[in-house]
Amino acid sequence: MARITAGITSSHVPAIGAAVDLGNTQDDYWKPAFAGFDWTKEWIMKPENKPDVVILVYNDHASAFDMNLIPTFAIGCADEFQPADEGWGPRPVPVVKNHADLAWHIAQSCILDEFDMTIINKMDVDHGLTVPLSLMFGQPDAWPCKIIPLAVNVVTYPPPSGNRCYNLGKAIRDAVESFPEDLKVQVWGTGGMSHQLQGTRAGLINAEWDKKFLDDLTANPERLRKMPHIEYLREAGSEGIELVMWLIMRGALGKDVRELHRHYHVAASNTALGHIVLEPTE
């Protein structure tokens, strides 16, 4: 039986990907941001922790979807996905290899569980997905596990609620645990933390709010799942709404979790960088 063994969250700032690709991770500006992932990079490659599959929750940045097509939840079910060209050529990262059988199983299970998933068989994946992979796995010739892309609309209003995302995580857990193959599965939530890219509040970062969010992700997810959109916008900026994607990860882990590692750094480009590693205790 497949099982969910851990949950990871990370910001997916595009400038982080550029720093990796250009070899700038040890520059004075970037070094403290990347140092917080050293623990995870070592932990995740230990045989007892290394995932067979990562379900990677991210948002597309007009690479695969635009105003003509805005799925709330879209799961990639093809065998592989190419890195997207976001205007300056695709990132020099490996092709994403999917566990298509598990992806189709999750799609079926979640749809029958009354989540209206969009099934995607052709899409390129942008920095929202590839930057977290680079942070955890570095620059390998091939990603060391299969990756199921799960895109969430947090760009065009209305995005899903935190509660809907949390419940989707629970449905994903049920789906994984009903899959007969013996697999170690991790769920990653990406995006955030507080940041705003436009308007009079451009550059907003709210470290106090971010750190409380990290605390409650472990200890009080019930508060987070009930948080309205307006609080994300007011306290974490217009792009802070990406944090609802972290609740899919948290819902997939079950009620009780153990926090293994945390990293918070301000600022990475114009964003508060957040990262946490959790494991279920049930």
CATH of the domain at 91: 3.40.830.10
Q: What is the DSSP letter of 213?
A: H
Please state, in angstroms and rounded to a whole number, the distance separating the CA atoms of residues 105 and 125.
Answer: 21
Domains identified in the chain, total number: 1
Q: What is the DSSP letter of 84?
A: P
Q: Which of 12, 105, 127, 265 is catalytic?
A: 127
Q: Which of 195, 263, 265, 275 is catalytic?
A: 195
Q: What is the pLDDT along the chain (282 residues), one digit of tens a residue?
A: 999 999 999 999 999 999 999 999 999 999 999 999 999 999 999 999 999 999 999 999 999 999 999 999 999 999 999 999 999 999 999 999 999 999 999 999 999 999 999 999 999 999 999 999 999 999 999 999 999 999 999 999 999 999 999 999 999 999 999 999 999 999 999 999 999 988 999 999 999 999 999 999 999 999 999 999 999 999 999 999 999 999 999 999 999 999 999 999 998 999 999 999 999 997
Per-residue pLDDT at 267? 85
Please spell the DSSP secondary structure of 151-208, one letter per residue.
EE--SSSPPPPHHHHHHHHHHHHHHHHT--S--EEEEEEE--SS---SSTTTT---HH
Per-residue pLDDT at 282? 77
105 is catalytic: no
**Residue 218 belongs to domain spanning:** 3-280
61 is catalytic: no
Per-residue pLDDT at 230? 96
Per-residue pLDDT at 247? 98
